[in-house]
Structure 1
């Protein structure tokens, strides 16, 4: 009886893990990637490190949404580290969109700033 209960719990946990792993697929269906490739703007700047998981997620988000960006690794470039520090640093990723800062992984704020830029410059953003 105890082994059946343990097996049931393991199956529930396993099911939850599988369900959680599919959340990104559901998110892509509910919120399909945008295409910012036609928007003319200064590239978004990503201050990052090579080991940062959220930096990797940010890169994937930029690529999936065709956001033009440049990346500076603050551990490999003294100039990048100085710029990062001048912006207040405080953790990575640090993203600069049209002179507005996004601290941490926050894709909705990046999209908001790009949409505001598109509206300000009267450009369509798809």
Structure 2
């Protein structure tokens, strides 16, 4: 099983879409909500990102939610 993480925020529509997609596909993921977790915000900035979603699949980083790319990376 691939390790999936998502950096998200409460007000991010693409984040909600990505999480809904993961749920539909029964993909388990770890969420780092930068709206509620300042350490997650700092970690995201340390990676060089200022926006969400950032999706990490087995160390490969995706900025934004491009469904086809994410599905391909997950072998769906």
Cα RMSD for the two superposed structures: 1.4
- Greater relative CO, 1 or 2 (CA 8 Å, sep 6+): 2
Q: How many aligned positions are there?
A: 76
Which structure shows the bigger proportion of residues in helix conformation? 1
1:50 aligns with 2:10: yes
Looking at structure 1, the residues matched to 17 and 45 of structure 2 have their Cα atoms a distance apart, in angstroms, of 22
- Say if 1:48 and 1:93, in contact at 8 Å, map to a contact too: yes
Gap regions ≥5 residues in structure 1: 1-39, 116-125
Q: Moved runs in structure 1, 4+ residues, more than 6 A? A: none
Alignment counterpart, residue 106 of structure 1, candidates 56, 66, 75: 66
Looking at structure 1, the residues matched to 66 and 74 of structure 2 have their Cα atoms a distance apart, in angstroms, of 13
Q: Structure 1-normalised TM-score?
A: 0.55
- Say if 1:47 and 1:94, in contact at 8 Å, map to a contact too: yes
- Say if 1:55 and 1:105, in contact at 8 Å, map to a contact too: yes
Structure with greater Cα Rg: 1
Q: Structure 2-normalised TM-score?
A: 0.87
Residue equivalent to 2:51: 91
